[in-house]
A and B are shown apart, each in its own frame.
Chain A
Amino acid sequence: SQTIHQWPATLVQPVGSPLSLECTVEGTSNPNLYWYRQAAGRGLQLLFYSVGIGQISSEVPQNLSASRPQDRQFILSSKKLLLSDSGFYLCAWSPPAGGHFLYGYTFGSGTRLTVV
């Protein structure tokens, strides 16, 4: 069966520090991968999605970046965090080749990031 792992669960970082959040998927090949951010009490905002290794689409211009160095690994990074980067970050995957139209997304357990 497929599983998605996301870490760390919580993170407190000072303003201006770098960020690296990692997400890995097991049990499937060539998944579509997504990074979302959720502000407190709000819905989810799509940040990045990837349909293959090295293929990243950015939805919101900001100081975050994403990379997909391996088929089932998706990394969210920042060189210098801002206070406004605080939030709940969620990684998700969906099946490839049109599977995202047939099946729901599977989400990781999220990372609570607080920038201080």
Chain B
Amino acid sequence: SQQGEEDPQALSIQEGENATMNCSYKTSINNLQWYRQNSGRGLVHLILIRSNEREKHSGRLRVTLDTSKKSSSLLITASRAADTASYFCAIQANDYKLSFGAGTTVTVRA
């Protein structure tokens, strides 16, 4: 399938700790994107990393991309209670379709 697959499915961490989640995919991509979804809400775009990029930062977020291994990781540093959400990776090949994985549910404990 063309979609990304996240690992782990769920993650529980203490406030202040770092959270790392991974995404694997099977096809060639134009870019890979990460989104956050709070319970029952729409998705919010976090970061887009192109296939010729290896690392990207945005605030407390760090995304890496290894196209040779067809994998990406999202690191959230110094987590906060507000980071509790589901995180999805999405891959985009050279067309209009953005294909999502099943997501990683992150719970940040106070």
Contacts and interface: CB of A to CB of B under 8 A. Distances in A.
Interface of A: 6, 32, 34, 36, 41-46, 49, 51, 57, 59, 88, 90, 92, 100-110, 112
Interface string B16-44: 00000000000000110101000011111
Contacts of A49: 96-97
A90 B96 contact: no
B103 A43 contact: yes
Task: Determine chain B's interface SS by DSSP, over half rule.
Answer: strand
B61 interface: no
18 contacts: A43-B101, A43-B102, A43-B103, A44-B88, A44-B90, A45-B100, A46-B98, A46-B99, A57-B96, A101-B30, A103-B45, A104-B35, A104-B45, A104-B46, A105-B45, A108-B42, A109-B42, A110-B41
Contacts of B3: 43
B92 A101 contact: yes
A102 B48 contact: yes
Interface residues of B, number: 25
Quick one: which of B43, B48, B101 has the most chain A CB within 10 A? B43
A50 to B, nearest CB: 9
Contacts, number: 62
B102 A100 contact: no
Given A104-B35, A107-B42, A109-B42, A43 B100 contact: yes
Interface of B: 3, 30-31, 33, 35, 40-46, 48, 50, 88, 90, 92, 96-103
A88 B98 CA distance: 17
B39 to A, nearest CB: 11
Quick one: which of A41, A43, A88, A100 has the most chain B CB within 10 A? A43
Contact of A110 (B42, B92, B99): B42
A107 B101 contact: no
B88 A43 contact: yes
Contacts of A88: 40
Q: Which 6 A-B pairs have the closest CB atoms?
A: A104-B45, A107-B42, A43-B100, A44-B100, A43-B102, A107-B43
Contacts of B101: 43
